[in-house]
Amino acid sequence: MDIIEGPVTELSFSSGIMEYRKTEEWFVFHKKYSTDRQRKGDSSMEILRCEGVRKVYGLGGSQVTALDGIDLSIEKGEFVAVVGASGSGKSTLLHILGSVDRPTDGKVIVDGMDLSGLNQTQAAIFRRRKVGLVYQFYNLIPTLTVRKNILMPLALDKKKPSQEYFEKVVASLGIADRLEAMPNQLSGGQQQRVAIARSLIYRPALLLADEPTGNLDQKNTREVLDMLKLSHRNLGQTILIITHDENVALEAERILTLEDGRIIGDERRR
Ligand code: ADP
Ligand code: MG
């Protein structure tokens, strides 16, 4: 039964009911996903599409419109920076693209799949397998080695990685020689690179990063950026990175500027 995409060489199906149910869900999910893609024709390089996305928080008089009509198309392999003042809706947008949150209105399609059609279980599976989320704080598990931290998303699904892909990721991120170290033995920049490796291990359609260098000094920021660029170049990874650091934004191929929940700038730089 070959129903899982990605860096999987071996699957262990325990006979437990939970595992079976998870598999059934994924099968339905995967079938819908493949049909959607076939219907669309797979010639398009578009990996992300938003149409009229709005997000309103709160009720009655205390409503806040965090996103106010976002239309956006991103192609496979693009490296996009999202900039804008605090409160302009950057994190909200990222959460909606990552299926962490749902829009009030509008449509989000990632890798041919309409996110509004997913139930809660499917959304959780989507999050784990199709997007990589990286935050300012690395959220590594302090009692596990670097290697085990990176493999955690696969372990949660009782899957084994493709050794070749694992090696490529850790080499690209410059942490191949630190795999048996514990997180607290690493610098901030190294820890963030471990978090990025963990988010890449499923070969996500999108890597979404919210201020990933916000907690780092200049040297570590440089390190993390270089590694993101390398994963973009070597693995063809599509990346959306939120930043308030102009130097970080200037590394991207495309800069989206948000203001009051709207895209007011979309600049392609090369
Ligand atoms: P940014 O990441 O650009 O700083 P956010 O997306 O976090 O902006 O926030 C956009 C707007 O939505 C802000 O006005 C913020 O206060 C509001 N907001 C964000 N999250 C919530 C929430 N969970 N409940 C209510 N308002 C929120
Ligand atoms: Mg934010």
* β-bridge mates for residue 156, sequence order: none
Place of tokens 């595992």: 19
Is 159's C-beta closer than 6 angstroms to any atom of ligand 1? no
DSSP secondary structure string, 55-74?
Answer: EEESSGGG-EEEEEEEEEEE
Determine whether the shortest distance from the Cβ of 265 to ligand 1 is under 6 A.
Answer: no
Task: Tell me the pLDDT tens digit for each residue of 189-216.
Answer: 999 999 999 999 988 999 999 999 998 8
Confidence check: pLDDT of 70 > 70: yes
Query: Minimal CA–CA distance to 108: which of 46, 200, 66, 34?
Result: 46
d(CA 150, CA 6): 15
The pTM for the full model equals 0.82
Rounded to an integer, what distance in angstroms lies between the CA atom of residue 61 and that of residue 213? Answer: 36
Residue of 240, 235, 246, 241 whose CA lies nearest to 212: 241
Measured from the alpha carbon of residue 86, the closest ligand is 1
Percentage of the residues of the chain whose pLDDT score is greater than 70: 83
Residues present in the chain in total = 270
Task: Calculate the dihedral angle through the C-alpha atoms of 227, 100, 256, 50, rounding to the nearest 10 degrees.
Answer: 130
Q: In what order do the strands lie in the sheet with 206-210?
A: 131-134, 206-210, 239-242, 79-83, 254-259, 262-268
Q: For 2-55, write each residue's pLDDT tens digit.
A: 233 333 322 222 222 333 334 444 444 444 555 554 454 454 699 999 999 999
User: How far does residue 60's CA lie from ligand 2's centre (Å)?
Assistant: 24
Cα–Cα dist 182/180, whole Å: 7
Q: Using one digit for the tens of pLDDT, what is the confidence trace for 82-136?
A: 999 999 999 999 999 999 999 999 999 999 899 988 888 888 888 888 999 999 8
263 vs 119: which has the higher pLDDT: 263
241: tokens are 């990175």
What the block records as the tokens of 32 is: 């819908």
Per residue in 150-161, pLDDT (tens digit) is: 999 899 888 888
To test the ligand 1 pocket, which listed residue (53, 56, 64) has its Cβ within 8 A of the most ligand atoms? 64
Q: Which helix (H) or strand (E) holds 261?
A: none
